[in-house]
């Protein structure tokens, strides 16, 4: 696979791709992004990611000139040109270019980037043994400041600080609570627990990104006859759980075995977690096929 970037209609190698220093996402974090997986030549949950992106554009009042169907075709063609079989797509949309916080300072159309690359958050061993997680001191941003369901570039400064805190503690991830002390999410993943055969995850109103992988796992679990509750959870619920696991496009589904140096269950990946991992891998065989790249054939 060749790592490529499509930026405002120009395709270039990842190493040489550049954007304007006056890009509003670069200057102020005024942008949106999606991370999307490629499995076996198919883009997984492409429509769902594009739906969320365009909802965000409406929320942020970006004057998108590229339609959803056009952007979908751009993504597929760029992935085809990269001859991607398995990989990671980073999709960025910023308000445009212009100096000054006021959106009126932006005189250009939104800057749109499609990056075809690779990303692996955790090594293979972490999926076998599970992650150690700590509760970080950083809280998620409340909805009256910025709704966490918005995948806004600027909101991730808090998550980066929380991840750095987890790194200093030697933990694989950091748990973030909201300002009411309820469980929200981890720095880059959604969180689930299993108790007495029932799967529970924080409700979207608790201040979390409503992840595509999160929603996929809920759908898969219910399809297989399991009960899934979106509810209010505290650290007590996690520590009392039989199993816990995390989900995210980059992370996929990964077991969590400790919280704040306390074992969850028996401290090993749980039986139901392993089933969900298998079901999820089966689900990734579905997707939007990338057209064959034929320029050299």
- DSSP letters, 240-271, are H-SEEEEEETTTEEEEEEEETTEESTTSS--H
Catalytic one of 42, 45, 151, 163: 151
- Its pTM stands at 0.94
Q: Domain coordinates of the chain in residue numbers?
A: 4-117, 124-283
d(CA 283, CA 44): 9
Task: Judge: domain 124-283, CATH 3.20.10.10.
Answer: yes
| pLDDT per residue of the chain (297 residues) written in tens, 0 to 9 | 999 999 999 999 999 999 999 999 999 999 999 999 999 999 999 999 999 999 999 999 999 999 999 999 999 999 999 999 999 999 999 999 999 999 999 999 999 999 999 998 888 899 999 999 999 999 999 999 998 899 999 999 999 999 999 999 999 999 999 999 999 999 999 999 999 999 999 999 999 999 999 999 999 999 999 999 999 999 999 999 999 999 999 999 999 999 999 999 999 999 999 999 999 999 999 999 999 865 543
E strands, the chain, are 4-7, 10-13, 31-39, 42-43, 87-94, 111-117, 131-135, 173-177, 183-186, 190-195, 198-202, 228-231, 243-248, 252-259, 262-263, 288-289
β 198-202/190-195 pair status: antiparallel
What's the pLDDT at 292?
87
Q: What confidence score (pLDDT) does residue 297 get?
A: 37
Query: How many residues are there in the chain?
Result: 297
**Which residues, 6 or more positions from 175, have their beta carbon under 8 angstroms from its beta carbon?**
133, 134, 135, 136, 183, 186, 191, 235, 238, 259
Place of tokens 């999160």: 214
Predicted local distance difference test score (pLDDT) of residue 296: 41
Predicted confidence at residue 23, as pLDDT, reads 97
Classify domain 4-117 at the CATH topology level.
Answer: D-amino Acid Aminotransferase; Chain A, domain 1 (3.30.470)
94 bridge partner residues: 31, 111
Residue 294 confidence (pLDDT): 52
Other Cβ atoms within 10 Å of 251 Cβ, number: 24
Alpha carbons 79 and 73: distance in angstroms, whole number? 10
* Per-residue buried b or exposed e for 153-177, using 16+ beta carbons within 10 Å of the residue's own CB: bebbebbeebbebbeebebbbbbbb
Is residue 45 flagged as an active site residue?
no
pLDDT at 36: 98
Task: Quote the tokens at residue 169.
Answer: 């503690």
Q: Do domains 4-117 and 124-283 have the same CATH topology?
A: no
C-alpha neighbours within 13 Å on the C-beta side of residue 105: 12
Residues 52, 212: Cα–Cα separation, whole Å:
9
Torsion of CA 209, 77, 292, 87, to 10 degrees: -30
């Amino acid at each position: 696979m060749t790592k490529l970037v499509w930026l405002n209609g120009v395709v270039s190698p990842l190493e040489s791709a550049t954007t304007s220093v006056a890009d509003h996402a670069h200057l102020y974090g005024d942008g949106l992004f999606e991370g999307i997986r490629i499995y076996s030549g198919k883009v997984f949950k492409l429509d769902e990611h594009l739906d969320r992106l365009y909802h965000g554009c409406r929320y942020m009042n970006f004057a998108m000139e590229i339609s959803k169907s056009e952007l979908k075709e751009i993504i597929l063609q760029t992935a085809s040109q990269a001859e991607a079989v398995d990989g990671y797509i980073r999709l960025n949309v910023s308000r445009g270019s212009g100096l000054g916080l006021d959106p009126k300072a932006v005189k250009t159309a939104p800057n749109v980037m499609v990056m075809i690359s690779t990303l692996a958050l955790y090594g293979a061993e972490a999926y076998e043994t599970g992650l150690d997680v700590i509760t970080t001191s950083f809280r998620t941003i409340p909805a009256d400041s910025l709704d966490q369901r918005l995948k806004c570039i600027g909101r991730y400064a808090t998550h980066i600080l929380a991840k750095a805190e987890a790194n200093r503690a030697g933990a694989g991830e950091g748990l973030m609570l909201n300002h009411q002390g309820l469980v929200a999410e981890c720095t880059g993943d959604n969180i689930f627990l299993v108790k007495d055969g029932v799967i529970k995850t924080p409700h979207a109103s608790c201040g979390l990104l409503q992840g595509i992988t999160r929603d996929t796992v809920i759908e898969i679990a219910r399809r297989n006859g399991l009960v899934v509750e979106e509810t209010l959870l505290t650290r007590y619920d996690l520590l009392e759980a039989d199993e816990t696991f995390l989900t995210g496009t980059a992370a996929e589904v990964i077991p969590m075995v400790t919280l704040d140096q306390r074992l969850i269950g028996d401290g090993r990946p749980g039986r139901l977690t392993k089933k969900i991992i298998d079901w999820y891998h089966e689900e990734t065989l579905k997707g939007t096929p990338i057209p064959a790249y034929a320029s050299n054939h």
